[in-house]
């Protein structure tokens, strides 16, 4: 699992690639988001276009990350869900929890 962080205005975009699975994958996501929160960044978008696989622990990490960001007064949004991730979030009814976007510009604009 690799994450590249970039800023678009005051929104932090985490471009994720690889697998979000129990262990290193979930830890990588958690650490990247906690690092942003500690620096005062509260507008975060997870770009999941490069995520090839996510397991139940990965889904759990997305929920945990969402809760952590919300508890610190921030917002976490998802971008470019793969078919598999969309199916998992639909099946678990979590698609109603997350704000999901297909276009980066729409995700960034949603923070205004």
Which CATH number belongs to the domain containing residue 63 in this structure? 3.30.750.24
What pTM does this model have? 0.95
What's the pLDDT tens digit per position in 51-108?
Answer: 999 999 999 999 999 999 999 999 999 999 999 899 999 999 999 999 999 999 999 9
Number of domains comprising the chain: 1
The pLDDT value recorded for residue 14 is 98
Taking Cα atoms as reference points, which of 61, 70, 10 lies closest to residue 32?
61
Cα separation, 24 vs 8, in Å, equals 27
Range of the domain at 12: 2-109
- For the sheet containing 2-8, what is the strand order? 2-8, 11-20, 43-54, 75-79, 99-101
* pLDDT interval class at 112 (50, 70, 90): confident
* pLDDT interval class at 40 (50, 70, 90): very high
The pLDDT value recorded for residue 28 is 95
The pLDDT value recorded for residue 51 is 96
The pLDDT value recorded for residue 12 is 98
């Amino acid at each position: 699992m690799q994450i590249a962080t970039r800023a678009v205005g005051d929104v932090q975009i985490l471009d994720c690639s690889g697998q979000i699975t129990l262990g290193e994958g979930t830890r990588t996501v958690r650490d990247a988001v906690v690092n942003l929160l500690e620096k005062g960044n509260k507008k975060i978008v997870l770009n999941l276009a490069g995520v090839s696989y996510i397991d139940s622990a990965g889904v759990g990490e997305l929920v945990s990350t969402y809760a952590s960001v919300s508890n610190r007064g921030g917002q976490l949004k998802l971008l470019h869900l793969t078919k598999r991730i969309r199916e998992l979030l639909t099946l678990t009814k979590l698609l109603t929890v997350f704000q999901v976007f297909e276009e980066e510009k729409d995700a960034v604009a949603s923070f205004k």
